[in-house]
Structure 1
């Protein structure tokens, strides 16, 4: 705690001392001048010696002393209130100005996972603040479903449409694969990832954190323009982290283990991560881990925060004023 206007108590103290000195001088001059107010009364000592009179006088003086103490404390509280009792902290707020591109392999083996990812981000869209979300899907060619946007209502609507289409294998609503089958081959991972990287606006000096959630099993069928390694290098050059989600069980197949290891190494080379699914139900928890990892990497600029705390002093001052009024009424001043 500290005082914003630290000089106010000093000024108040100086004024109090000056006032006390002036009062003392006035009292001295009045006493030396012999001036007395009131009307002389003969034999008043008979009255002042009475026990009842003495009792009333003691109570009167006690009330005056109490009134003086309360007035001093109230004045002190008022000075502190005017001085702004505050706490000063340096905070590093979490930055929510992130760009997240969903990069989904829509080949037949991936639709269940894609549906889970779309559903999870559709649910999360209502709680986002400042992030931009984009969606790119690919098979033999890539399609930008919607670019990076913070229109969360639109994001939720589009992701819900694609979730339903993934779940129904394209039989319900739109055909999710439209535009992704224009090339030669299937699951061209390098081309798909490269398209997702190029979906971010700004150059590598942009201060917005950029990340890609890549869902693929890394089974390439065809000759892509970019290999996975080249696409990962492009992501690294543009400061984009890749978080790969792989649904295939590699526990009993050495060949597929090698495919997974390639995907893992390239994702990690960008500063991102790799997640192998034990079940499709694990997608929401993986998305939460990715979000937590991203949030932990970036904080806002250090900010000096000054918080006033007037309430305790204001309540104290109000109670003291009420006490002053009660004492004034009691002593009949």
Structure 2
């Protein structure tokens, strides 16, 4: 537990010590009193009952003094505002839920796409407040949603595209699933004077967030999988794409088999938005054939890259664009509970003294 105003405790302790010293050292004027004469006072005070009553009285007075100081200490600490800088994952997810848009520009039936889709099909099973969407080459396949059973079913179906396409004699059911998935993921738009570029594909993925162009309480991120090398002149330049991501609070993560030198400005966009640019090795990049064991190693490496991206979500950003390194939350519960318990003890002690 930390204190937001630590100086209040110092001032309070100094004031409390000064009050205690003043109470003990301040000279008290003795008022002349006429005492009623009482016979055999010495014998009365030596009686065991009197000794027990007087001892109980002194104990209760001591308890009252101790509880009074303790209550004042709790009041001082509560005034200093105890805070906690560590919010639980559930609290952070409720206050700043994650919005993740998968931007799949690779062949949806490729092995790497299958690994990506199956990975997030498994992730959806453990989601709490996150939203997930999927954008393919030319269409928004899955808008952002929290329908986790739907995400598991659809992403799992898309992840099976590689297996279904490789089958020599698929069943009618598998053929129908393959045809439907290819239609949903593989739709393209032909232009006479335009060719889809990486920057424009990323911009289309960013447009899938509600209120794009403005900050949001949600932590937004795009996970792009596909080529990184520029193929033509884009509509969105690197600077425009970076500004769009920054103004929207979007973290751009890139998974590509293109090298860093051939990525153009995509690596700079990922770095500028707090994301990761990961150039990974695929089976097609390996010389000769790729044994099954090596393919498993490549899949494990790709999943570890995805784990790395998921373990570094976007930073928390205030509405004015200020990055919040940590969240300070008031946590006076413990101090106030202790103070309440002490007050109850104080009241019981006071009642005992009066009795």
Say whether the 8 Å CA contact 2:96–2:219 is kept in structure 1: no
RMSD: 4.7
Q: 1:233 to 1:148 in 2, by over 3 A?
A: farther
Q: 1:227 to 1:315 in 2, by over 3 A?
A: same
Q: 1:302 to 1:192 in 2, by over 3 A?
A: closer
Say whether the 8 Å CA contact 1:122–1:155 is kept in structure 2: yes
Deviation at 1:135, TM superposition (A): 0.4
Note if 1:162 corresponds to 2:150: no
Say whether the 8 Å CA contact 2:260–2:279 is kept in structure 1: no
Deviation at 1:286, TM superposition (A): 1.3
**Which residue number in structure 1 is paired with residue 295 of structure 2?**
none
Q: 1:266 to 1:100 in 2, by over 3 A?
A: farther
CA distance in 2, matches of 1:107, 1:96: 33
Deviation at 1:118, TM superposition (A): 1.5
Note if 1:244 corresponds to 2:254: yes
Q: How big is each residue's C-alpha offset from its partner over 1:277-304, in whole Å with a ceiling of 9 and x where there is no partner?
A: 3412223321222233443475559766
Q: 1:321 to 1:275 in 2, by over 3 A?
A: same
- Unmatched 5+ residue regions in structure 1? 249-258
Q: How big is each residue's C-alpha offset from its partner over 1:116-173, in whole Å with a ceiling of 9 and x where there is no partner?
A: 21222223235545543220112xxx12111223444443333223223344337473
Q: 1:273 to 1:84 in 2, by over 3 A?
A: closer
After superposition, where does 1:108-123 map in structure 2 within 5 Å? 111-123=110-122
Q: 1:82 to 1:217 in 2, by over 3 A?
A: closer
**Which residue number in structure 2 is paired with residue 199 of structure 1?**
208
Q: 1:117 to 1:136 in 2, by over 3 A?
A: same
Greater CA deviation, 276-285 or 198-207? 198-207
After superposition, where does 1:131-170 map in structure 2 within 5 Å? 131-138=130-137, 142-169=138-165
Q: 1:129 to 1:228 in 2, by over 3 A?
A: farther
- Unmatched 5+ residue regions in structure 2? 166-173, 282-297, 318-322
Note if 1:178 corresponds to 2:187: no
CA distance in 2, matches of 1:196, 1:287: 18
TM-score normalised to structure 1 length? 0.63
CA distance in 1, matches of 2:56, 2:117: 75
Note if 1:213 corresponds to 2:223: yes
Say whether the 8 Å CA contact 1:135–1:144 is kept in structure 2: yes
CA distance in 2, matches of 1:147, 1:112: 23
Note if 1:107 corresponds to 2:107: yes
After superposition, where does 1:213-232 map in structure 2 within 5 Å? 213-217=223-227, 227=233, 230=236, 232=238
CA distance in 2, matches of 1:213, 1:62: 75
Larger Rg: 1
**Which residue number in structure 1 is paired with residue 266 of structure 2?**
267
